[in-house]
Amino acid sequence: MERRFNVAVAGATGAVGNMMVQVLEERNFPVNKLKLLASERSEGKALQFHGKSHRVEVLTPESFEDVDVALFSAGGSVSLEFAPAAADSGAVVVDNSSAFRMDPEIPLVVPEVNPHHIAAYKNRGIIANPNCSTIQMVVALKPIYDAAGIERIVVSTYQAVSGTGKRAIQELQDQSIAIFNMKEIKTDVYPYQIAFNCLPHIDVFLDNGYTKEEMKMVNETRKIFEDNTIRVTATTVRVPVFYGHSEAVNVETKKKISVEEVRTLLSKAPGVVVVDDPENIQYPLAIESAGRDETFVGRIREDESIEKGINLWVVADNIRKGAATNAVQIAEILVRDYF
């Protein structure tokens, strides 16, 4: 009989956690017992899994006795506090927060790019899931990296509000309705109105003038490719889109690579769908990525301003491939190859 595993989802009532439960069900992850964990605010709530109602419990350090795999998406401070306790109880943690991503002992994994790094879960019992914007970019760049090497990446993002969580989804909805009804607009989650606006500000500002989200893209990309020589610069922007992050990616390669070669490589790459037919007005769209697990790539062009440059438009569902699906894919490899 197939082995089944006890799985915990910490942050199960959130935008990402909820999707983790859905993705575990969709992909038929071999779950024995499912444990749903959140804060006291969610006590008494229940979620459906394979047609059965599962009650949400309050997360405590004792929640992980008996748990084989713990998927965390309850924020960095919750991960810092509870993930080591979960690992000490014998669970392997797949953590969605930024808390452990740059720890040299902790693997940072995108299954299409560096699945072999999962083996290092043995160091601390924790595997980190990268930031949503990093995940979709490295999925699209992996074939180019392997074929031509990468010298430098210049990326600008157009990120959906769902990346901030369930309260931000509500805020965009409420502000949009208020505008159409000529009512006063309330801002709570974001510092400024997000409806019909763009905010060049994701996560906190750092001393170098970049945001933490921008530096996540720089540092995580280098760690995933195991290549600190890649130069990366990012501008991350919140846009009034519900689901699906879009990115304009400019990549300077080490060797010359043609647009045709890039298109051929990407059309064979795991997890990638090329949507690139300007004649028929076909290119990736955030609203079409929503609900899908693939990374969509289009607008593939030569950067005519430099010798060896390519421009891409890269789109994925930030809650699925950017978070929940990537975490469940990691867990699938973990239990298949290491348990």
Q: Which residues are catalytic?
A: 132, 245
Contacting residue, 131, 236, 246, 318, with ligand 3JM by CB under 6 A = 131
Quickly list DSSP for 185-214: PP-SSSSS--TT--BS--S-B-TTSSBHHH
Where does this chain touch ligand 3JM (CB under 6 A) — which range of 32-40, 71-79, 264-272, 284-292?
Answer: 71-79
Euclidean distance between CA atoms 14 and 39, whole angstroms: 10
Which 159-178 residues touch ligand 3JM, going by CB under 6 A?
A: 163
End-to-end CA distance of the chain: 15
Q: Does 98 bind ligand 3JM (CB under 6 A)?
A: yes
Of 129 and 253, nearer to ligand NAP (C-beta) is: 129
Contacting residue, 76, 84, 115, 149, with ligand 3JM by CB under 6 A = 76
Of 46 and 80, nearer to ligand 3JM (C-beta) is: 80
Which run of H or E residues covers position 70? strand 69-72
x/- track of binding to ligand 3JM for residues 190-219 (CB under 6 A): --------------------------x---
Tokens encoding 226:
């195991």
CA-nearest of 128, 72, 71 to 104 is: 128
Half-sphere exposure of 333 (CA within 13 A, CB side): 19
Residues engaged in binding ligand NAP (CB under 6 A): 11-17, 38-39, 41-42, 59, 73-76, 78, 96-97, 129, 131-132, 163, 165-167, 322-323
Of 79 and 253, nearer to ligand 3JM (C-beta) is: 79
Indicate the burial class of 260 (C-beta count within 10 angstroms; 0-12, 13-18, 19 or more).
exposed
Positions touching ligand 3JM (CB under 6 A) are 75-77, 97-98, 131-132, 163, 216
